Amino acid sequence: MQGLFEPLETETREGAQLAPVVLAVALDQTYDYIVPAGLEVEPGCFVLVPFGPQSRIGVVWDKSVGEPGKPVDPKKLKVITARLDAPPLPEISLRFAEWIAKYTLAPLGMTVRMLMSARAVFEPQKPRFGVTIVGGAAEPPRMTPARQRALEIAADGAIRAKAALAAASSCSTGVVDGLVASGNLVEVAIPEKRPPVPDPCHRVTEFSPEQDAAVHALRSAVDGANFSVSLLDGVTGSGKTEVYFEAVARTLERGHQALIMLPEIALTDQFMRRFEARFGAPPVEWHSALSGPERGRVWKQTATGEARVVVGARSALFLPFSDLGLIIVDEEHDAGYKQDDRVHYQARDMAVVRGSLGAFPVILASATPAIETHVNARTGRYRHVVLPGRFSGASLPDVTPIDLRVTPPDKGKWLAPPLVDAITKTMADGQQSLLFLNRRGYAPLTLCRSCGHRIDCPQCTAWLVEHRFRGKLHCHHCGFSIPLPEKCPKCAEPGSLVACGPGVERVAEEVAERFPGARVALLSSDLIPGLTEMRDMIRNIEAGGIDIVIGTQMVAKGHHFPNLATVGIVDGDLGLAQGADPRAGERTFQLLHQVTGRAGRALTEGRGYVQTHMPEHPVMQAIISGDREAFLEAEIANRRKGLLPPYGRLVALVVAARDKETAQLVARDIAHRAPRSEKIEVLGPAEAPLAVIRGRHRWRLLVKAPREIDVQAYLRAWLADLPPLKGDIKLTVDIDPYSF
Summarize as ranges the residues that interact with ligand ADP (CB under 6 A). Answer: 205-207, 211, 234, 236-242, 391, 560
Does position 459 interact with Zn ion (CB under 5 A)? The reply is yes
**From CA 693, how far away is CA 416, in angstroms rounded?**
35
Please report, to the nearest 10 degrees, the dihedral formed by the alpha carbons of residues 386, 391, 396, 397 taken in order. Answer: -160
332 binds, among ligand ADP, Zn ion, none (CB under 5 to 8 A by kind): none
**From CA 252, how far away is CA 267, in angstroms rounded?**
25
Pairing mode of beta strands 46-51, 681-693: unpaired
**From CA 193, how far away is CA 127, in angstroms rounded?**
12
Pairing mode of beta strands 257-261, 309-312: parallel
Question: Closer to ligand ADP at the Cβ: 212 or 728?
Answer: 212
Q: What is the DSSP letter of 569?
A: E
Pairing mode of beta strands 497-500, 520-523: unpaired
Assign residue 705 a region: left if phi > 0, alpha if psi is -120 to 50, beta otherwise?
Answer: beta
Site for Zn ion in 234-273 (CB under 5 A): none
Q: Are residues 263 and 336 in contact, defined by beta-carbon separation less than 8 angstroms?
A: yes
460 binds, among Zn ion, ligand ADP, none (CB under 5 to 8 A by kind): Zn ion
Q: Is 454 helix (H, G, I), strand (E, B) or coil?
A: strand
Q: Which helix (H) or strand (E) holds 541?
A: helix 531-542
Q: Are residues 437 and 508 in contact, defined by beta-carbon separation less than 8 angstroms?
A: no
φ/ψ (deg, to 5) at 405: -75, -25
Question: Closer to ligand ADP at the Cβ: 88 or 239?
Answer: 239
13 binds, among ligand ADP, Zn ion, none (CB under 5 to 8 A by kind): none
Q: Are residues 393 and 607 in contact, defined by beta-carbon separation less than 8 angstroms?
A: no
Give the closest residue to 599 by CA, choosing from 395, 366, 369: 395
CB 696 → Zn ion: shortest distance, Å?
11
CB 560 → ligand ADP: shortest distance, Å?
5
677 binds, among ligand ADP, Zn ion, none (CB under 5 to 8 A by kind): none
Q: What is the DSSP letter of 101?
A: H
230 binds, among Zn ion, ligand ADP, none (CB under 5 to 8 A by kind): none
**Candidate ranges 95-103, 124-132, 469-477, 597-605; the one touching Zn ion (CB under 5 A):** 469-477
CB 236 → ligand ADP: shortest distance, Å?
5
CB 459 → Zn ion: shortest distance, Å?
4
φ/ψ (deg, to 5) at 19: -130, 135
Question: Closer to ligand ADP at the Cβ: 240 or 297?
Answer: 240
Site for Zn ion in 472-501 (CB under 5 A): 475, 477-478, 480
477 binds, among ligand ADP, Zn ion, none (CB under 5 to 8 A by kind): Zn ion
Question: Closer to ligand ADP at the Cβ: 540 or 677?
Answer: 540
459 binds, among Zn ion, ligand ADP, none (CB under 5 to 8 A by kind): Zn ion
Distance, C-alpha 28 to centroid of its chain: 26
CB 391 → ligand ADP: shortest distance, Å?
4
Does position 692 interact with Zn ion (CB under 5 A)? The reply is no
Question: Closer to ligand ADP at the Cβ: 409 or 558?
Answer: 558
CB 313 → Zn ion: shortest distance, Å?
26
540 binds, among Zn ion, ligand ADP, none (CB under 5 to 8 A by kind): none
Cis before 283 (ω within 30): no
CB 626 → ligand ADP: shortest distance, Å?
16
533 class by beta-carbon count within 10 Å (0-12 exposed, 13-18 middle, 19+ buried)? exposed
CB 313 → ligand ADP: shortest distance, Å?
18
CB 633 → ligand ADP: shortest distance, Å?
23
Question: Closer to ligand ADP at the Cβ: 597 or 648?
Answer: 597
242 binds, among ligand ADP, Zn ion, none (CB under 5 to 8 A by kind): ligand ADP
Task: Give one DSSP letter per residue of 263-315, joined into a string.
Answer: TTGGG-HHHHHHHHHHHSSPPEEESTTS-HHHHHHHHHHHHHT---EEEE-GG
| Torsional sign, CA 682, 684, 687, 689 | negative
**Candidate ranges 98-106, 174-182, 184-192, 459-467; the one touching Zn ion (CB under 5 A):** 459-467
Q: Is 624 helix (H, G, I), strand (E, B) or coil?
A: helix
CB 504 → Zn ion: shortest distance, Å?
20
478 binds, among Zn ion, ligand ADP, none (CB under 5 to 8 A by kind): Zn ion
Question: Closer to Zn ion at the Cβ: 323 or 659?
Answer: 659
